[in-house]
């Protein structure tokens, strides 16, 4: 039936716009899509966050999934978040009827009560996950607005965690007005706490302030939301954690912003790798070294050629 309609449309010279439906590769998911269906391998899982909204309790969970074309953050609302408990890293998940959003320049697929997650569907496979488009950079080579940059270095300083109130509905900052917290969109709310942790990372070329928000803090510290919230009341408990982390080698993927207040570049973390593989780093170092050596040899070769030319010229004359 559809085929016939297509032929008729073609004969009439009408362009049939193919509706985007069915399974999408991750790179083809764009913000603002409805009924998103995709399949990916779980590469990272985060803690469930609970929140209070008026009389109702709510929760959301999140994870990163990837396929051969890229990775994307998946946000699971309410009952969907409970499914995280039965999902392991490495599992294949099929998402049905999600909706995609843009979150500060990054794409996300949200699964609400209309959507569904199928864990390890028997008829789906995912090849090697294209981890990210991140490009490794030396800190001294970072420039404002660099996106998807990867840096690797040693934590040389940790600051105190800063806590702030957010709207439980939309996650935006909730501000104190009179004696209650107010969200611009959702009015009076009983706020959740979110948090930010800044660290200084040094890679030998330079150091930079790395800004980690909620999920990143949890991954970096390997602590739950519950643990981290205890530092709000008892900041002295965080001192121990600081000491533990100081000197650790960590990898971050994120973007570079200019903090205009202090006129300095800062690195906003999108992904933290608290235990990067030492083998990979050693391999990278030796590759860099041989690349540098090859570079150093290049002008020498040129000079040799020139000398040969000179010799030739001399013999000719």
Which residues contribute to the site for Zn ion (CB under 5 A)? Answer: 167, 169-170, 183, 185-186
Nearer of residues 130 and 186 to Zn ion, judged by Cβ = 186
Nearer of residues 11 and 55 to Zn ion, judged by Cβ = 55
Nearer of residues 68 and 169 to Zn ion, judged by Cβ = 169
Q: Which residues contact 8 (CB under 8 A, 6 or more apart)?
A: none
Nearer of residues 183 and 199 to Zn ion, judged by Cβ = 183
Contact between 271 and 133 under an 8 Å Cβ cutoff? The reply is: no
The rounded distance, in Å, linking the Cα atoms of 123 and 111 is: 21
Give the DSSP H or E segment for 253. Answer: strand 249-259
Shortest distance, position 120 Cβ to Zn ion, whole Å: 35
Nearer of residues 214 and 251 to Zn ion, judged by Cβ = 214
The rounded distance, in Å, linking the Cα atoms of 81 and 51 is: 13
Environment class of 286 (CB within 10 Å of its CB; exposed 0-12, middle 13-18, buried 19+)? exposed
Shortest distance, position 76 Cβ to Zn ion, whole Å: 19
Nearer of residues 81 and 183 to Zn ion, judged by Cβ = 183
Shortest distance, position 238 Cβ to Zn ion, whole Å: 28
Using CA atoms, how far residue 296 sits from 137, 299, 305, in Å, is 20, 7, 16
Pick from 279, 215, 291, 225: nearest CA to 253: 215
Sign of the C-alpha dihedral, residues 305, 307, 313, 314?
negative
Shortest distance, position 78 Cβ to Zn ion, whole Å: 16
3-state secondary structure of 243: helix
Backbone angles phi, psi at 233, to 5 degrees: -80, -35
Nearer of residues 103 and 185 to Zn ion, judged by Cβ = 185
Nearer of residues 8 and 170 to Zn ion, judged by Cβ = 170
Nearest-5° Cα angle at 107, 81 to 197 = 75
Shortest distance, position 99 Cβ to Zn ion, whole Å: 18
Backbone angles phi, psi at 300, to 5 degrees: -60, -45
Shortest distance, position 127 Cβ to Zn ion, whole Å: 39
Tokens of 110: 């949200």
Shortest distance, position 112 Cβ to Zn ion, whole Å: 16
Q: Which residue is nearest to Zn ion (CB)?
A: 167
The rounded distance, in Å, linking the Cα atoms of 112 and 97 is: 9
Shortest distance, position 297 Cβ to Zn ion, whole Å: 60
């Amino acid at each position: 039936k559809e085929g016939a309609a297509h032929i008729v449309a073609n004969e009439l010279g009408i362009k049939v716009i193919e509706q985007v439906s069915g399974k999408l590769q991750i790179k083809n998911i764009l913000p603002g899509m409805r009924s998103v269906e995709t399949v990916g391998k779980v590469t990272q899982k985060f803690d469930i966050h609970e929140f209070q909204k008026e009389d109702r309790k709510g929760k959301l969970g999140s994870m990163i999934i990837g396929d051969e074309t890229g990775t994307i953050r998946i946000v699971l609302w309410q009952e969907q978040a409970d499914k995280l408990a039965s999902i392991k890293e490495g599992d294949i998940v099929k998402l049905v009827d999600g909706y995609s959003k843009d979150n500060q320049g990054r794409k996300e697929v949200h699964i609400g009560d209309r959507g569904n997650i199928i864990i390890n569907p028997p008829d789906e496979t995912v090849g090697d996950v294209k981890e990210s488009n991140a490009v490794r950079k030396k800190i001294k080579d970072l420039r404002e607005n660099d996106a998807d940059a990867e840096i690797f270095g040693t934590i040389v300083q940790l600051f105190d965690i800063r806590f702030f109130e957010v709207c439980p509905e939309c996650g935006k900052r909730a501000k104190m007005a009179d004696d209650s917290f107010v969200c611009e969109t959702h009015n009076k709310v009983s706020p959740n706490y979110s948090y930010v942790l800044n660290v200084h990372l040094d890679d030998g070329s330079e150091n930079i302030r790395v800004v980690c928000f909620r999920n990143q803090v949890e991954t970096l510290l390997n602590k739950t939301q519950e643990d981290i919230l205890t530092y709000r009341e008892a900041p002295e408990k965080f001192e121990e954690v600081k000491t533990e982390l100081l000197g650790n080698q960590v990898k971050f993927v994120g973007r570079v912003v200019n903090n205009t207040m202090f006129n300095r570049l800062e690195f906003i973390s999108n992904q933290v790798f608290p235990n990067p593989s030492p083998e990979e780093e050693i391999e990278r170092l030796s590759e860099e070294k041989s690349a540098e050596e090859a570079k150093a040899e290049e002008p020498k070769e040129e000079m040799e050629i020139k000398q040969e030319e000179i010799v030739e010229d001399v013999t000719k004359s």
